[in-house]
Structure 1
Amino acid sequence: MKNIISYFKKSSLGLRAVASLMTISLMTGCNDYQTLEQNPNLPTSVPSSIILRDALKKMNDEAWNDIMRYNQFYCSNYNYYSTNEYSWGNATLPFTTLKNVIKMEEEAKKSGAKDLNPYSALGKFLRAYYYTNMTLRVGDLPVKDALQGLTVDKPKYDTQKDVFVQVLKWLEDSNSDLTQLIASGNKTLDGDIYYANDLRKWQKAVNTFRLRVLIHLSKKADDTDLKVKQDFANVLNNPSKYPLMGDLSESLQFVWGTNNKYPRNPDNLGNNATRENMSKTYLDLLKNFKDPRLFVVAEPAEAQLAKGLKATDFDAYVGASSGEDLADMSSKAGKGEYSFQSRKRYYSSYTGENTFIVSYPELCFNIAEAINQGWVSGNAQTWYEQGIKASMSFYGITDATAYLAQSNVKYAGNTAAGLNQILSQKYIAFFQNSGYEAYFNWRRTGVPTFLVGPGTANGTKIPLRYQYPSSELSTNQVNVTDAITRQFSGSDNINAIMWIIK
């Protein structure tokens, strides 16, 4: 470059020519850089079907994990792997998945889809699904300003009420869009791992999930903006407009296979089969109701068999309190005092059992609860019994006649006792499925009674929420601090009470 400048100084062209040459050189360099920056081995566009598959797969919260311990379905008795403590910290919220949902919709349009298409219809449902799970974990969230990319990098937080207003709108719009798509015959969809691209089944799942959301809002049933009771009745009383799941087979459920192994399988039998035992919260409910599902999911305690009890005796099954000191629990489990999960059922294959995300039994219990509470007319007993039968059939139990005839199982009517029965059976049906739903329902209703003690930590209290993500506290501090102040008097406390349960 020095030689070039020297040449032009001596020539009649002068320095203006040098500047022109350098500008051309820089422009060429920029174009070359942009070309070189592109990686020919990476795609610049991803089919919407691939993005959909990923977003759907992430809906599965799996089984036999931390969440299921928090639901008090089972306990860890070996602290090398885990404890039973509710030492909750910062939540991890799936905003990246929601960004991918937006990308999915964009890619569908790039591929020639109309504004109304199956990917956009399911995109609204996915927004509603993920936002519901996020807000139930932390409280207020950014909605109006969220997912705007570089346009809004520090989104303001909307109230939890406004989040649910938007969730219910997304679900209404998703149902409406699916109705139009089904009627027009525009069912072009690919990448669906749950319903084999069947939009009719998806529409049922959308509306079934909507009733779940409305049940979550039971403490706000008289809110004039949300119109919870009216909305529930509108969905339930208009089956042609809002079709719902009709049986167990239409549940939204994850099917495990050799490429996606069930969390408990032959590979980890030696690692945790006896390092986890059943919880008293769950097992005692089954024992109290003389529930045959007990014999399917658990093994009798060896110490009880040594006393002469048989595997068919309900008293042969013993669960540990989640609040028990871990060292004590470990010692007792080692002596055979507690029941383990059924190794025959959960460790004999890689496919295990399907994991519900939104299930038909839950739908039945939600309708029964709404009738019990006077939101809608109908026969709560019919829905209550149908929920029990559907759950039992999942475990291969085909005859529930004798079970339903028991005095403590027979529906007690639209009373507080009847509601307790509905909620207890709903909890039983959530065993190892539906993510945090068992915990969310406990937090809303207090049913069943969760057990606490030194083993659960947190001052022997069950926390009521997670803290906001640490990334938000560092990158969007002003807005998240405003949200914490508005909701919890400035303390991002896991024991604070969020709006939905006040």
Structure 2
Amino acid sequence: MQRRIKMKLNKKLIILLAAAGFSVSACQNFEELEKNPNKTTKSSPALLLTSIENDFYKGPWSDVQRWNQYWCSNYNYYANQEYSWTGGSTNYLTLNDIKQMELEAASSGSGLPTKNAYSALAKFFKAFFYIDMTMRLGDIPMDEALRTSEGIFKPKYNTQKEVFLQSLTWLEEANADLAALIIANDKNLAGDFLLGGKLTGWQKAVNAFKLRLLIHLSKKEADIDLKVKQRFAETIANPAKYPLPNSSEDNLQYVYNTTTNKYPLNPDNFGNTATRNNMSATYLNKLVSLKDPRTFIVAEPAPAKIAAGLTPADFAAYVGASSGESLDDMSSKANKGEYSFIRKDRYYQYLGEPCIQIGYIELCFNIAEAINRGWVNGNAADSYNKGIRASMQLYGISTDAINAYLAQPEVAYSSVADVALNQILMQKYLGFFQNSGWEAYYNQRRTGVPTFLVGPGTANSQRIPKRFLYPSSEHTNNTENLTKALQSQFGGKDDINELMWILK
């Protein structure tokens, strides 16, 4: 599967796509001049879906996973640990593909019914990509976005609350549409390489994603418009209407192959980065302190510890580097063998492990958190234990070893609510390792768990930023609307350390 599908789109559509971001710098019409009779004017819904799913994928061992403080780069040529965030990216090109997929699926020549799987998934993907932007930036254009054909080149902003409300509505509609299609035994979903056209799997992913959004809104649980607790409880109480993943078999995940879609770390780039990627203390040292068997699977022992007489079976042989450490110090210590590197024989493979995008492990911890917060009735300890078991089972850890781990006083679910909530959030962080894109950061930003390490190596005056800046093009081309949005959110400042609405 190609990482990016090159679609045969005409020049007119290319121009519309370029204009479909926050804004454009001119309204000049090139339509007649740019027409090419030798190029197709349409793309099939299947081809567009494949492209959208590629954009949906968030991979392991990326900048995001480094900012999640799972790993560190000790060599500046490849990367560093700095949180010197500038202009954030947007998803409007992908959202325009989603819009086009809906149009193509609804056209008379597609042979599809009015309600079809492409239109149902379009609602899910619209929710996903708008939420992705608002979580990184704050308020964003939504209602007036993608309307250049109507002459709207400088779209007004929607508040973050409005984006969440609309996204929850889309997810509700997507669930209902998929349910109807499943009853009708509709199998018209070509181009779906994530789930192979399995609509029951998509319906479970839609509802798991809805619960993710509601957990993100934990600071807004009293908002009468959002109805956070009510929506969560309704979903949990009605599994026939809102089916959810039952195990890791229901994960929405990205699977690798040995040819066109290799695992990001693989033998082809072993020589470049194998000695440059070491484990982060935020993640690895927590595994060690909990005597977590995942320690031995994800990391290599620090060479200096082995030289000092420890064995690879000793937890004390595993040491992560602080993300806040200066790069010079980290590099020097790594070269001396003081830090653990990532487990090369596990992660430098063509196939590698599938990368979960929306999964059962996260769902278990989200339910446990909701029960802990009093949103729903249930056994929080049971959901917490299920999340840990599911995570460890993906690493091939035995049932006996899992049981022993769960019996440890620091791991066993506490009877003290605040302590238990911290346990849920920490285990959720451990379960997110190299999966689910930004979710580890978003949960840390919302709750403070785990404590992210800072120092000269993280820059930004030793602070973890709360957001990205708006794109520079927006400052230039949509100044008036951006100025209003900045004033209403951040007192007029576009600053990476400002708190967005969802965090207040």
Q: Verify: 1:116 aligned to 2:115, yes or no.
A: yes
In structure 2, list runs of 5 or more residues that go unmatched.
Answer: 1-29
Give me the whole-angstrom Cα distance separating, in 2, the residues matched to 1:473 and 1:431. Answer: 36
> Residue by residue, what CA displacement relative to the aligned partner does 1:357-408 show, whole Å, maximum 9, x if unpaired?
0110000000000001100000001100000010011111131110100010
1:224-239 → structure 2 map (5 Å cutoff): 224-239=224-239
Give me the whole-angstrom Cα distance separating, in 1, the residues matched to 2:132 and 2:246. Answer: 24
Secondary structure at the counterpart of residue 58 of structure 1: helix
Give me the whole-angstrom Cα distance separating, in 2, the residues matched to 1:405 and 1:289. Answer: 11
Give me the whole-angstrom Cα distance separating, in 1, the residues matched to 2:32 and 2:473. Answer: 34
Q: Identify if the C-alpha distance between structure 1 residues 226 and 34 changes in structure 2 by more than 3 Å, giving closer, same or farther.
A: closer
Per mean C-alpha deviation after superposition, the further-off stretch among 153-162 and 104-113 is 104-113
Give me the whole-angstrom Cα distance separating, in 2, the residues matched to 1:477 and 1:358. Answer: 36
Secondary structure at the counterpart of residue 274 of structure 1: coil
Q: Which amino acid aligns with 1:68?
A: Q
Identical-residue share of aligned pairs (%): 56
2:286 corresponding residue in structure 1: 285
> Residue by residue, what CA displacement relative to the aligned partner does 1:162-210 show, whole Å, maximum 9, x if unpaired?
1100010000010011111112223311111111101111000000000
Give me the whole-angstrom Cα distance separating, in 1, the residues matched to 2:66 and 2:32. Answer: 52
> Residue by residue, what CA displacement relative to the aligned partner does 1:234-267 show, whole Å, maximum 9, x if unpaired?
0011000000001101111000112111111001
Q: Which amino acid aligns with 1:274?
A: T
Quote the offset at 1:271 in angstroms: 0.6
1:10-409 → structure 2 map (5 Å cutoff): 38-110=35-107, 111-151=110-150, 152-257=152-257, 258-347=259-348, 349-399=349-399, 400-409=402-411
Q: How many residues align?
A: 469
Q: Identify if the C-alpha distance between structure 1 residues 414 and 249 changes in structure 2 by more than 3 Å, giving closer, same or farther.
A: farther
Does the 8 Å CA contact 1:253/1:355 hold for their aligned counterparts?
yes
Give me the whole-angstrom Cα distance separating, in 2, the residues matched to 1:414 and 1:121. Answer: 42
Give me the whole-angstrom Cα distance separating, in 2, the residues matched to 1:357 and 1:186. Answer: 25
Does the 8 Å CA contact 1:74/1:279 hold for their aligned counterparts?
yes
2:476 corresponding residue in structure 1: 474
Q: Which amino acid aligns with 1:427?
A: Y
Give me the whole-angstrom Cα distance separating, in 1, the residues matched to 2:65 and 2:214. Answer: 23
Secondary structure at the counterpart of residue 75 of structure 1: strand
Q: Which amino acid aligns with 1:102?
A: K
Give me the whole-angstrom Cα distance separating, in 1, the residues matched to 2:455 and 2:35. Answer: 57
2:15 corresponding residue in structure 1: none
Secondary structure at the counterpart of residue 356 of structure 2: strand
Secondary structure at the counterpart of residue 149 of structure 2: coil
Give me the whole-angstrom Cα distance separating, in 2, the residues matched to 1:136 and 1:417. Answer: 27
Secondary structure at the counterpart of residue 303 of structure 1: helix
Q: 1:443 aligns with which of 442, 445, 451?
A: 445
Quote the offset at 1:477 in angstroms: 1.4
Quote the offset at 1:39 in angstroms: 3.3
Q: Which amino acid aligns with 1:234?
A: E
Does the 8 Å CA contact 1:373/1:414 hold for their aligned counterparts?
no
Give me the whole-angstrom Cα distance separating, in 2, the residues matched to 1:62 and 1:287. Answer: 25
Per mean C-alpha deviation after superposition, the further-off stretch among 178-187 and 326-335 is 178-187
Give me the whole-angstrom Cα distance separating, in 1, the residues matched to 2:232 and 2:123. Answer: 19
Does the 8 Å CA contact 1:381/1:413 hold for their aligned counterparts?
no
Does the 8 Å CA contact 1:430/1:438 hold for their aligned counterparts?
yes
Quote the offset at 1:41 in angstroms: 4.2
Give me the whole-angstrom Cα distance separating, in 2, the residues matched to 1:156 and 1:88. Answer: 24
Secondary structure at the counterpart of residue 321 of structure 1: coil
Q: Which amino acid aligns with 2:316?
A: D
- Measured on the aligned residues, the alpha-carbon RMSD in Å equals 1.4
Give me the whole-angstrom Cα distance separating, in 1, the residues matched to 2:422 and 2:453. Answer: 17
In structure 1, list runs of 5 or more residues that go unmatched.
Answer: 1-32
Does the 8 Å CA contact 1:380/1:414 hold for their aligned counterparts?
no
Does the 8 Å CA contact 1:49/1:190 hold for their aligned counterparts?
yes
> Rg: which structure is higher?
1
Give me the whole-angstrom Cα distance separating, in 2, the residues matched to 1:310 and 1:140. Answer: 52
- TM-score normalized with structure 2 length: 0.91
Give me the whole-angstrom Cα distance separating, in 2, the residues matched to 1:97 and 1:140. Answer: 19
- TM-score normalized with structure 1 length: 0.92
Secondary structure at the counterpart of residue 283 of structure 1: helix
Quote the offset at 1:351 in angstroms: 1.0
Give me the whole-angstrom Cα distance separating, in 1, the residues matched to 2:242 and 2:128. Answer: 17
Q: Identify if the C-alpha distance between structure 1 residues 37 and 426 changes in structure 2 by more than 3 Å, giving closer, same or farther.
A: closer
Quote the offset at 1:133 in angstroms: 1.0
Quote the offset at 1:114 in angstroms: 2.7
Q: Which amino acid aligns with 1:413?
A: S
Give me the whole-angstrom Cα distance separating, in 2, the residues matched to 1:36 and 1:301. Answer: 63
Q: 2:412 aligns with which of 395, 410, 413?
A: 410
Give me the whole-angstrom Cα distance separating, in 1, the residues matched to 2:135 and 2:31. Answer: 44
Q: Identify if the C-alpha distance between structure 1 residues 36 and 438 changes in structure 2 by more than 3 Å, giving closer, same or farther.
A: closer
Q: Which amino acid aligns with 1:81?
A: Y
> Residue by residue, what CA displacement relative to the aligned partner does 1:52-110 show, whole Å, maximum 9, x if unpaired?
01101111111111101100001111011111100000001111000000000111122
Give me the whole-angstrom Cα distance separating, in 2, the residues matched to 1:279 and 1:155. Answer: 41
Give me the whole-angstrom Cα distance separating, in 2, the residues matched to 1:232 and 1:36. Answer: 52
Q: Identify if the C-alpha distance between structure 1 residues 43 and 402 changes in structure 2 by more than 3 Å, giving closer, same or farther.
A: same
Give me the whole-angstrom Cα distance separating, in 1, the residues matched to 2:498 and 2:446. Answer: 14
Give me the whole-angstrom Cα distance separating, in 1, the residues matched to 2:178 and 2:477. Answer: 38
